[in-house]
Amino acid sequence: MTTMTVGTPVDKKRLGQTPLERQEGRFRRSLKRHSTPYLLGLVGIVWLLLLFVIPLISGLAVSLMTGNPEQGYTLTWNWSVYYDVFFNSGVSYGLFLWRALWYAAAATLVTIIIGFPMAYFIAFRVSQRWKNALLLLVALSFFVSFVIRTDMWAFVLSDQGPVLTVLRDLHLAGKDFHILGTSAAVIGGMAYNDLAFMVLPLYVALERIDPRLIEASADLYGNKTRTFTRVVLPLTRSGLFAGILLVFIDSAGDPVNASLLGGTHTYVIGQAIQDAYLTNQQYNVAAALSTVLMIVLGIILFVYARIAGTDNIEDLV
């Protein structure tokens, strides 16, 4: 009688290997397993290197050059350009930077005030068949050029535009009242152009909320205010975080709204960078201002992320 033993299959190939060869095999398998995520993210890494890291380093190098457009610029490691631009140039670049940050913060607040009710209405008060249509309307503005949208907004707010015409007909505004050329016009234009950047992340966060949580809050005698502040608002933190980042960053360096909707008293750092590069051809000054703006934004966003950011990067997806 033949007896058959059932057990774990023996890898004959491994039996013929030396301990060093088996160790090398385990190392290769481990390396393959751990390198897969990096290989999958290689395209994104190359994209960031080409379009973010290299331009950033290039801008920093240009800021440290001296010369002029006729004779060319030479890298002289002129670090004093950062001090001279803000303290010895005779131009209030610090004021322009502060004004840009203030406008961006105000525009972000306006988009939150307008965008949160819009996202909440689409997520909880609209039937499923109409949600996609309303989201398409929110994103429809992206099908039109940013400059054209802003220019049309300038027409709406002009002295002969529909807004002031109606206000004057209702005797709510005098003949000397103007909207264009004011800070309100610039902030309104920024909020108008970036509203979708706030609505869409908020909608995604609100859509992920389980309706049973809201019902449970009502069953526990929570009124609408407490339900919103204790249940809805904390669960939308990831969407609010993403929306604030998108709107604030886009508005802080924007020169278009201030150029088309503002005046001499609404000049911002984005216009200063544009004029230094295109009009005055001060390439090192423009690069220095751009570098300072990116550093300031980076510090602000890092502090904000540490204070109010999400605990898990998956919350932003």
Nearest 5°: phi and psi at 174?
Answer: -85, 175
The verdict on 160 and 198 lying in the same domain is yes
At 47 the pLDDT is: 86
Secondary element (H or E) of residue 65: strand 65-68
The verdict on 199 and 140 lying in the same domain is yes
Q: Which residues pair with 65 in a beta bridge?
A: 75
At 264 the pLDDT is: 86
Q: Which two tokens stand for residue 8?
A: 């774990």
Provide the sign of the torsion angle of the four alpha carbons 55, 61, 66, 67, taken in this order: negative
The verdict on 36 and 159 lying in the same domain is no
Q: Measure Cα distances from 122 to 139, 224, 300 in Å.
A: 13, 18, 31
**How far apart, in whole angstroms, are the C-alpha atoms of residue 173 and residue 157?**
13
Residue-level length of the chain: 317
Q: Which two tokens stand for residue 239?
A: 């969407």
Q: Could you list the residue range(s) of the whole structural domain that residue 295 is in? A: 88-316
Residue 77, domain member (yes or no): no
Residue 47, domain member (yes or no): yes
Residue 171, domain member (yes or no): yes
For residues 75-90, one letter each, b for 16 or more C-beta atoms within 10 angstroms of the residue's C-beta and e for the rest, the string is: eeebeebbeebbeeee
The verdict on 286 and 167 lying in the same domain is yes
At 310 the pLDDT is: 54
The pTM for the full model equals: 0.81
The verdict on 143 and 198 lying in the same domain is yes
Residue 130, domain member (yes or no): yes
The verdict on 312 and 168 lying in the same domain is yes
Q: pLDDT tens digits for the chain (317 residues)?
A: 444 444 445 454 555 566 666 666 676 766 667 677 777 778 888 888 888 888 889 889 999 999 888 888 888 999 999 999 999 888 899 999 999 999 999 999 999 999 999 999 998 888 888 888 898 988 888 888 888 989 888 888 888 888 888 888 888 888 888 889 899 999 999 999 999 999 999 999 998 888 788 878 877 777 778 888 888 888 888 889 889 999 999 999 999 999 999 988 999 999 999 999 988 888 999 999 999 999 999 898 888 888 876 554 444 44
3-state secondary structure of 230: helix
